[in-house]
Amino acid sequence: MRIGGYQPLTLSDFPGSIAAIVFTQGCSFRCPFCHNGALLPYDGEEAFDTKEVLYRLWKRRQHLDGVVITGGEPTIHEDLTMFIFDIKSIGLKVKLDTNGTRPDVIEKLLSEGLLDYIAMDIKAPLEKYNALAGVDVDIDAIARSIEIIGKSGIDHEFRTTVVPALLSDEDVAAIQKLVPEGSTYKLQDFDPTNALNPELRTTQNEPIGV
């Protein structure tokens, strides 16, 4: 596992749970609005050894309910399953954040009962996905992941970062139609401060609901 960051405590990223956050190194997208640019290259600096992170989690197991695994994109790592198994062996719940590009990995983790919560970012209406992801995207994989997560039977959510310069109200309405009935859908404000595309750093962002 290539781990680019570790946060020992969050009270907001895992609904209903006190958690730590593990940031995996490397991502399959290059979203222009991404605020975690340092985590994008797979061969970027590996800040933490996997065994060290597991030891930190083990030491804090009495004070935590779970772990959020985010990125980057966790599902690009072939040893993700074993890493989650090790976390579960400590007695902690696992929330996975994903961009939905690896439905096969998501399905395997769910079938093995390794996830307690999953959150998927839906970047855009399917016809605009490439522009918002910054790469050519397998749209069928995105659609399949949405379906798998919607039918997973575990707590889950879909979410969209609303970038005013890239997404219109009509786009957001189109995305909402992709969300399975009964699933939680959240809109997130865009923070332009460290956007991957420098042109977006000066974007005036209107908070959602204003």
Which residue from 138, 140, 139, 87 is spatially nearest to 117, judged by alpha carbons? 87
Asked if residues 125 and 172 have their Cβ atoms less than 8 Å apart, the reply is no
Question: What b/e string do you get for 187-201 counting C-beta neighbours within 10 Å, with b at 16 or more?
Answer: eeebebeebbbeebe
- Return the amino acid letter for 39: L
Task: Supply the pLDDT for residue 210.
Answer: 34
Asked if residues 203 and 192 have their Cβ atoms less than 8 Å apart, the reply is yes
Task: Supply the pLDDT for residue 42.
Answer: 84
Task: Supply the pLDDT for residue 103.
Answer: 99
3-class secondary structure, 174: helix
Task: Supply the pLDDT for residue 43.
Answer: 83
Report d(CA 49, CA 15) in Å as an integer.
Answer: 27
**pTM (2 decimals)?**
0.94
pLDDT tens per residue, range 96-113: 999 999 999 999 999 999
3-class secondary structure, 129: helix
Domains defined along the chain, listed by start: 3-202 (3.20.20.70)
Task: Supply the pLDDT for residue 205.
Answer: 56
Which residue from 123, 97, 104 is spatially nearest to 30, judged by alpha carbons? 123
- Below-70 pLDDT ranges, the chain: 44-46, 203-210
